[in-house]
Amino acid sequence: MSENPLLQPFKTPHGTVPFDQVKNEYYLPALKEAMTMGRKEIDAIVNNPAAPTFENTIVALERAGEMVSRVSSVMFNLNSAETSPDLQKIVREASPLLTEYGNDITLNEKLFKRVKTVYDQRNQLKLDGEDRMLLEKSYKSFARNGANLKEADKEKFRAINKELSQASLQFGENVLNETNEYVLEITDEKDLAGLPEFAREAARATAKQKGKTGWVFTLQAPSYQPFMTYADSRELRKKLFVAYNSRGFHSDKNDNQQLIGKMVQLRYDRANLLGYKTHADFILEESMAGSPEKVKQFLSELAGYAKPVAQKQLAELTRYAKENGFKDERLERWDFGYYSEKLKKEKYALDDEILKPYFKLENVIEGVFTVANKLYGLTFKERKDIPVYNPEVKTYEVFDQDGTFLAVFYGDYFPRAGKRSGAWMNDIQGQKIEKGVNVRPHVVNVCNFTRPTETKPSLLTFNEVTTLFHEFGHGLHGMLANGKYESLSGTSVYRDFVELPSQVMENWCYDPEALKLFAKHYQTGEVIPNDMIEKIRASQNFMAGMSNLTQLRYGLVDMYWHGNAPHGETVEQVESKVDSLVNLFPKVPGTAFSPAFSHIFAGGYSAGYYSYKWSEVLDADAFEFFKEKGLSSREVAGKFRKNVLEKGGTEKPMELYKKFRGREPSPQAMLRRSGLTL
């Protein structure tokens, strides 16, 4: 163990993970040793002869198991961003061990008794707000994880958690396998008609990488999206669409249908065991929304606004398609992106081919750094000597306006076979104050953007630009964290509040002043012209009704899976019920999105996908405050930093929002911005 780098002090800049020294064979031994240490720390709390106090029980519990958190954080981060069959096998073995470790803590009767003793005295204790929140969260953590159950039910609870952790891992692996295994190989150049040069060049590079001739398209977003948007071949668009939307739905080794049924049933059984009606009731108790009924009402009301707008937009798009040679009665899903892009170009003289030259990745990164500097006074300095888990990863030191070190930031931007699809932010090290020292966070943004080619740098689509700003907003929530306790710090907030910092950052992608900071032609250095900025702003709500319906469809399916008692319904039956409310397209046989819906079955958004729309209400309302005072207003940015970004989960979200805004949020700002009024 003395040679295992995961268990030693990290002798690296800012104590960053020595990825260059970490090998797969180190994880399990390190984790087992860390759990032994963690159990000893728990035993010390339980066997303390002194009466339970906030310090010797609640704070001691918060500090216990720090080595377990360190090892598991490194392992799970890599399993998402740089996995391999070996690492997946290790994680499958480690996951039930970690589940058991967590269960051993929350189901420890003597430990819970000490926690409850302190909790019952809470009104007599002289605690500040952050201490009170930690006490409340600690008590609820036990209660919501089976501490009040009878012994026989505790064993059922353990078994359910163990099965769920394994099923969730398997679900994610199956989606990754399906994504990696499919290729659309094109050898006849006529089949590339309509595709811009950037898409063709990327497909040539992919073919070369895979040892094939011609052009290869994959189910990775930078390959899939341009094909669906530009390819003239309707037949091939359909082929790729069906491949993408049937991942995990083939009744083969990567099938996720039975896993969904199993996970939904297990989550429901666990909620019942804890005294909740459904999994959604259990999850939403700890949310701003508060209940499934409130979420369903919220989504239904939004659908009421979005559906008529979407119907009008789809009718307009159908007319346009027919005027331009479309022969069928109605558009199919694989037609939507293609014809909407053509209509958008006709309406606004704008498309990704025109915009991409202005969005060189390095410039966009510099741009988001500059926006963070203007708002919060932050500066970013690249470091070449911080170890990384892949040569493509960039690392930066982050400093406050007074030169104080704030964080380490990792940027990982390109798709790889070992990286799951999508984009996300993680902490590799969380923020806390320990022994008077403010331990600063190490934050990673992981994305899957368009790669450089042999002739061009990485040029982003506008959607990729907004994604980068979105994930950076999450990053700021982590980097600016300033609390006493890691479990309340940074993004450790209610799920329907966590998207506020990320979504509010997207607004600067449409701001002329911000765009001119980074949108510069990669060849000429020309700043993006004013008329192009106006077109971007004018097209912001293009097909907003349709895109809102898509998001609502995901949210409603999530609530259907988790807000009802399971009745053994198939994936197709569940999706059909939701589609009757919010889907304007015909059913496509052999496709379903639930079997690849990693957010809710392999991530942390079960009964929480609605939070993207919920947070839109918050972010649109928050951004109107910036607009009132000026988009670079240090006054408003300072309030947002102080009351949202720094506070994490130290107070209830609505209280934090009201301290920032001076009132509760109004949904009208979101409806105005999204154009959800006829």
Q: What pairs with residue 398 in β-bridges?
A: 380, 407
Phi, psi for residue 386 in degrees, rounded to 5: -90, 125
* DSSP one-letter code for 449: P
* pLDDT at 63 (0 to 100): 97
Check: CB of residue 171 under 8 Å from CB of residue 598: yes
The secondary element (H helix, E strand) that includes residue 69 is helix 66-81
Calculate ∠ Cα 508-511-515, nearest 5°: 85
Which of 126, 392, 148 has its CA nearest to residue 275? 148
Q: Which two tokens stand for residue 643?
A: 């009351």
Q: What pairs with residue 606 in β-bridges?
A: none
Distance (Å, whole) CA 350 – CA 603: 35
Phi-psi region of 643 (alpha: psi -120 to 50; beta: other; left: phi over 0): alpha
Calculate ∠ Cα 96-485-291, nearest 5°: 70
Q: Which residue has the tokens 């926690």?
A: 115
Phi-psi region of 450 (alpha: psi -120 to 50; beta: other; left: phi over 0): beta
Cα atoms in the Cβ-side hemisphere of radius 13 Å centred on 416: 18
Q: Which two tokens stand for residue 499?
A: 């998207």
Q: Which residues contact 482 (CB under 8 A, 6 or more apart)?
A: 431, 438, 489, 646, 647
Cα atoms in the Cβ-side hemisphere of radius 13 Å centred on 28: 14
Q: Which residue has the tokens 């710090």?
A: 489
* DSSP one-letter code for 440: P
Kindly tell me if the per-residue pLDDT of 1 is higher than 70. no
Distance (Å, whole) CA 280 – CA 475: 28
In the set 62, 397, 471, 624, the catalytic residue is 471
Q: How many helices (H) and strands (E) does the chain have?
A: 27, 9
By percentage, how much of the chain surpasses pLDDT 70? 100
Surface-to-core class of residue 50, CB atoms within 10 Å of its CB (0-12 exposed, 13-18 middle, 19+ buried): exposed
Distance (Å, whole) CA 344 – CA 341: 5
* pLDDT at 3 (0 to 100): 87
Q: Are strands 379-383 and 215-217 parallel, antiparallel or unpaired?
A: unpaired
What pLDDT digit, counting tens, does each position of 159-182 carry?
A: 999 999 999 999 999 999 999 999
Verdict on whether the full-model pTM lies above 0.85: yes
Q: Which two tokens stand for residue 380?
A: 């970013």
Phi-psi region of 278 (alpha: psi -120 to 50; beta: other; left: phi over 0): beta
Q: Is 62 a catalytic residue?
A: no
Distance (Å, whole) CA 313 – CA 416: 36
Q: Which residues contact 157 (CB under 8 A, 6 or more apart)?
A: 103, 107, 145, 146, 149, 270, 273, 274
Q: Which residue has the tokens 């630009």?
A: 465
What pLDDT digit, counting tens, does each position of 587-626 carry?
A: 999 999 999 999 999 999 999 999 999 999 999 999 999 9
Surface-to-core class of residue 398, CB atoms within 10 Å of its CB (0-12 exposed, 13-18 middle, 19+ buried): buried
What pLDDT digit, counting tens, does each position of 37-66 carry?
A: 999 999 999 999 999 999 999 999 999 999
In 82-144, which residue ranges form alpha helices assigned H by DSSP? 85-106, 109-120, 129-143
What pLDDT digit, counting tens, does each position of 400-455 carry?
A: 999 999 999 999 999 999 999 999 999 999 999 999 999 999 999 999 999 998 89
What pLDDT digit, counting tens, does each position of 550-597 carry?
A: 999 999 999 999 999 999 999 999 999 999 999 999 999 999 999 999
Q: Please provide the average confidence, as pLDDT, over all residues in the chain.
A: 96
Distance (Å, whole) CA 592 – CA 256: 11
Q: What is the DSSP string of 326-376?
A: --SSS--HHHHHHHHHHHHHHHHS--HHHHGGG-BHHHHHHHHHHHHHHHH
* pLDDT (mean) for 366-381: 98
**pLDDT category, 2, cuts 50, 70, 90?**
confident
Distance (Å, whole) CA 284 – CA 244: 31
Sheet holding 394-399, edge to edge: 379-383, 394-399, 405-412, 442-446, 424-429
Q: Residues, the chain, total? A: 678
State how far the alpha carbon of 210 is from the alpha carbons of 207, 215, 216, 362, 441, in Å: 5, 10, 8, 27, 38
What pLDDT digit, counting tens, does each position of 231-288 carry?
A: 999 999 999 999 999 999 999 999 999 999 999 999 999 999 999 999 999 999 999 9
Check: CB of residue 330 under 8 Å from CB of residue 586: yes
Please write down the HEC assignment for all residues of 185-207: EECCHHHHCCCCHHHHHHHHHHH
Calculate ∠ Cα 437-442-445, nearest 5°: 155
Kindly tell me if the per-residue pLDDT of 678 is higher than 90. no
Phi-psi region of 262 (alpha: psi -120 to 50; beta: other; left: phi over 0): alpha
Q: Which residue has the tokens 């939070």?
A: 611
**pLDDT category, 376, cuts 50, 70, 90?**
very high
State how far the alpha carbon of 156 is from the alpha carbons of 94, 109, 149, 326, 641, in Å: 20, 16, 10, 57, 43
* DSSP one-letter code for 277: S
For residue 308, give the amino acid letter: P
State how far the alpha carbon of 327 is from the alpha carbons of 3, 163, 195, 233, 585, in Å: 69, 50, 21, 14, 16
**pLDDT category, 468, cuts 50, 70, 90?**
very high
DSSP, collapsed to helix, strand or coil, labels residue 381 as: strand
What pLDDT digit, counting tens, does each position of 644-654 carry?
A: 999 999 999 99
